[in-house]
């Protein structure tokens, strides 16, 4: 008489491992479970010495072991699909297991990744959050409340926005609404600080120079090969009724024009000369925020936005440029190598329209420069790159905000506007 030997089910001689089974009563295979899963199982074996130990694997990683043949515990699982394997080891060298597939149901809630609750932020802060819902149709929209007033709302299960906050202790609430009529919310407590210089585009004190290739040293007007103008108090193309118009043209290909305002320290004409040298050493966080009108994208080679700081022979330039007609991405400035470094952030402008740009940076305790985030038209892009400072003459003291337009290969006439240009420091 012939018969088939079931694998790992019975033994015919002492040379084979003992027969064993694992019976799991919780959870059941292909079941939906909560994040805390009770696991109950009992093992039996034909090994005369019995079961030595039992264990639980979660996604091929051993998470729990216990002596003997009984398992009665819980495991914590993240939302999604998982493979649970309950396994026994007997004293005869035998091993048997029972695999189970389970799915952890998604729980409703809002997860905020930025800003961190309890942190100190400037009056403009980037908010990033996501939401889950038990509603089968998912999350319909998300929003941000300040002082019980809804200040931002977007469709979908994720939120990425730049929110203007009031100075002081603030509690923001990020909320989700699902397609089933449900809603959940998560609060975030913030300490909002900072001093803001508003409407810098129309403020006095702007310096302006041409820059000619290949050296790009500054050149005072008249600068042969490049011409430019800066005209404040514009209302026809404006978001506030008081924009400033910038133009560039000329005959030298790829010539540039730099406009710079000393917002603090030497050269400042608004009462922030910091002549006692007491303000600059206390400052570590900076936000440059502005509306930008691009009138002709086809000839807009490059637009640059910089924050500069000089103190005790140390120079720090947080330079960013939208390198539109070259590599098509945003670049950041490396002080030490004096060169532009491409990022992975796409350089995308709305043509013949207004755009919004926000650069947030930080000076670290050792004077290294941290590029934190760049926000363009509501899309917050983390940079998180640190570069070293550079040496400058010891007599330099202060901070400047720069705006630069670069000419294209034929120096086509080009016009841009700045409005609501604000600089925040703390």
- Predicted structure pTM score: 0.64
Residue 200 gets which letter from DSSP?
G
- Kindly write down the DSSP assignment for every residue of 275-302, as one continuous string: TTS-SGGG--EEEEEEEEEES-GGG--E
Please calculate the CA angle 177-179-183 and round it to the nearest 5 degrees. 25
pLDDT at 105: 64
Q: What sign has the CA pseudo-torsion 296, 345, 405, 301?
A: negative
Which residues, 6 or more positions from 278, have their beta carbon under 8 angstroms from its beta carbon?
none
CA distance 234 to 231: 7
User: Chain-centre distance of CA 404, in angstroms?
Assistant: 25
**Within 13 Å and on the Cβ side, how many CA atoms surround 334?**
9
Report the CATH architecture of 196-425. Answer: Sandwich (2.60)
Q: Give tens-digit pLDDT for 44-64.
A: 999 999 999 999 999 999 999
Write down the pLDDT at residue 223. 95
Q: Are strands 51-58 and 379-387 parallel, antiparallel or unpaired?
A: unpaired
Judged against a pLDDT cut of 70, whether residue 389 lies above it is answered with: yes
Q: In the chain, list all ranges with CATH 2.60.120.260.
A: 196-425
Q: Are 121 and 192 in contact (CB under 8 A)?
A: yes
Q: How far is CA 405 from the centre of its chain?
A: 27
Residue 193: asked if its preceding bond is cis (omega within 30°), the reply is no
| Predicted confidence (pLDDT) at residue 82 exceeds the cutoff of 80 | yes
Pick the CATH number of 20-104 from 2.60.40.10, 3.40.50.300, 3.40.640.10, 1.20.120.80: 2.60.40.10
Q: Where in the chain is the domain with CATH 2.60.40.10?
A: 20-104, 109-192
Looking at domain 109-192, its CATH architecture is Sandwich (2.60)
**Chain segment 201-249, per-residue pLDDT in tens:** 999 999 999 999 999 999 999 999 999 999 999 999 999 999 999 999 9
- State the Cα–Cα distance between residues 106 and 248, nearest whole angstrom: 55
Distance of alpha carbon 302 from alpha carbon 414, whole angstroms: 11
Q: Using the 8-state DSSP alphabet, how is residue 108 labeled? A: P
β-partners of residue 322 are 303, 330
């Amino acid at each position: 008489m012939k018969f088939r030997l079931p694998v790992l089910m019975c033994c015919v001689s002492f040379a084979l491992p003992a027969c064993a089974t694992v019976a799991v009563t919780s959870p059941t295979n292909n079941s939906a479970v909560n994040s805390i899963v009770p696991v109950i199982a009992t093992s039996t074996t034909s090994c005369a010495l019995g079961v030595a130990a039992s264990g639980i694997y979660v996604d091929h990683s051993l998470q729990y072991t216990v002596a003997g043949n009984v398992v009665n515990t819980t495991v914590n699982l993240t939302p999604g699909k998982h493979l649970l394997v309950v396994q026994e080891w007997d004293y005869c060298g035998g091993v048997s297991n029972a695999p189970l597939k389970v799915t952890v149901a998604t729980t409703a809630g809002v997860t905020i990744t930025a800003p961190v609750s309890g942190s100190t932020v400037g009056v403009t802060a980037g908010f990033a959050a996501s939401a889950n819902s038990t509603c089968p149709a998912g999350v319909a929209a998300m929003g941000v409340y300040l002082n019980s007033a809804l200040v931002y709302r977007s469709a979908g299960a994720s939120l990425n926005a730049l929110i203007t906050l009031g100075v002081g202790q603030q509690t923001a609430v990020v909320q989700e609404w699902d397609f089933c009529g449900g809603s959940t919310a998560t609060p975030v407590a913030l300490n909002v600080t900072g001093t803001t210089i508003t409407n810098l585009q129309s403020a006095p004190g702007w310096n302006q120079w041409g820059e000619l290739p290949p050296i790009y040293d500054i050149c005072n007007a008249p600068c042969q090969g490049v011409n430019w103008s800066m005209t404040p108090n514009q209302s026809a193309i404006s978001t506030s009724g008081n924009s400033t118009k910038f133009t560039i043209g000329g005959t030298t290909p790829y010539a540039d024009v730099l406009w710079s305002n000393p917002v603090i320290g030497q050269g400042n004409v608004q009462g922030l000369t910091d002549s006692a040298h007491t303000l600059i050493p206390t400052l570590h966080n900076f936000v440059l925020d502005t509306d930008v009108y691009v009138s002709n994208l086809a000839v807009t080679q490059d637009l640059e936005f910089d924050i500069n700081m000089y103190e005790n022979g140390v120079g720090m330039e947080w330079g960013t440029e939208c390198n539109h007609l070259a590599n098509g991405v945003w670049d950041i400035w490396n002080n030490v190598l004096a060169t532009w470094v491409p990022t992975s952030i796409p350089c995308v402008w709305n043509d013949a329209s207004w755009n919004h740009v926000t650069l947030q940076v930080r000076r670290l305790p050792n004077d290294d420069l941290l590029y934190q985030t760049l926000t363009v038209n509501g899309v917050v892009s983390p940079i998180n790159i640190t570069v070293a400072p550079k040496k400058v003459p010891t007599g330099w003291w202060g901070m400047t905000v720069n705006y630069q337009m670069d000419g294209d290969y034929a120096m086509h006439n080009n016009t841009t506007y700045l409005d609501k240009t604000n600089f925040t420091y703390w």
